[in-house]
Amino acid sequence: MPTKFLLCAKNAIDDATMSASPEMRASLPPSNLQLPARGRVARSVDASSAQDIKFTWNGAGYYLSFLMLSRINLEPGSEWRVLLYSTVDWTGAAVYDSGTVTAVDGSTLGDLDFGVEPLGGGVFDALLGQQWALIYFTRIQALSGIVRITNTDNSYGYLEASRLFAGDYLELLINPGTIDFGWEEDTAQSRSAGGSLRSDGKINYRALEVEVQFIDATQRADLADQLRYAGRRKDIFIAAFPDETGEIARDYTMLAKFVGRLPRLRMVGGHDYLAAHLPFEES
């Protein structure tokens, strides 16, 4: 289980061939999980049984150390299972099996708003656009895999997700010195003739400003490759507190993109360590 800030720019799922069992809605297929656009979701026909989302790299192998199903409509009490195989067609014994585990945690007593939120509520109840299911595991090579989700009493009547992201994360050896978290929005404001401040409300999103004072020289090439690969073009998985749960995990774990000027790795003469400023916005 990782404990320090981590990121992954390469989503192995984007190179896979996707399928589902039972079949998902024809207009909302599992291949939509390979698209970063939020509106291009994959949706089951109903929620009456477990839904398998299957992927294979047709003979190519990928190293994986985590898997995230993002922007889901699963509810507290739902379950999921991740299976990875060393074969291209999901045959033989799985090289990794998470077992059936809770997909969306309910709020802990420390996270509950007493008098407002009932026991059994989830930390994502007001933030469904940011809801995810996530699992970390020991780094392993896989040629195919299955994500099985179950929520038979789902109040929507179907199971839905927007993005499936899996890869081999880079965990910094030394945590960032500072992490600035906030909510941003593109809302424009103007004054009316009577002086009222008016806002054309638009969707809000999370932003992180990460200041890393010490990047170990042994990780320089890996981080530089991730910066080159992603640029401002591709979404990146980041988790600032991967060993936390509840609201802090909810707020500081996301699919994001670099924004503004792309990060530079700052080298100070006479030292083995590098520094960097990493600006992210939720994608």
Task: Give a three-class secondary structure readout of 136-200.
Answer: EEEEEEECEEEEEEECCCCCCCCCEECEEEEECCEECCCCCCEEEEEEEECCEEEECCCCCEEEE
What is the C-alpha separation between 64 and 16, in angstroms, rounded? 13
Dmax over Cα atoms in the chain, in whole Å?
Answer: 72
Q: Are 124 and 76 in contact (CB under 8 A)?
A: no
Q: Are 253 and 238 in contact (CB under 8 A)?
A: yes
| Dihedral of alpha carbons 19, 51, 79, 163, sign | positive
Say what the pLDDT of residue 227 is: 94
Q: Which amino acid is at 163?
A: R
Q: Are 276 and 266 in contact (CB under 8 A)?
A: yes
Structure tokens at 195: 């002086």
Say what the pLDDT of residue 9 is: 97
What is the C-alpha separation between 195 and 252, in angstroms, rounded? 38
What is the C-alpha separation between 42 and 18, in angstroms, rounded? 11
What is the C-alpha separation between 210 and 240, in angstroms, rounded? 9
Say what the pLDDT of residue 170 is: 97
Q: Chunked in runs of 10, what are the mean pLDDT values of the chain (283 residues)?
A: 96 98 98 95 97 97 97 94 98 98 71 51 56 97 98 96 98 96 91 91 90 90 94 97 93 96 83 88 94
SS3 of 14, please?
helix
Say what the pLDDT of residue 202 is: 80
Q: For residue 277, give the H/E element and its range.
A: strand 274-282
Structure tokens at 89: 């067609």
Tell how strand 178-185 and strand 17-21 pair up.
unpaired
Tell how strand 144-150 and strand 79-85 pair up.
antiparallel
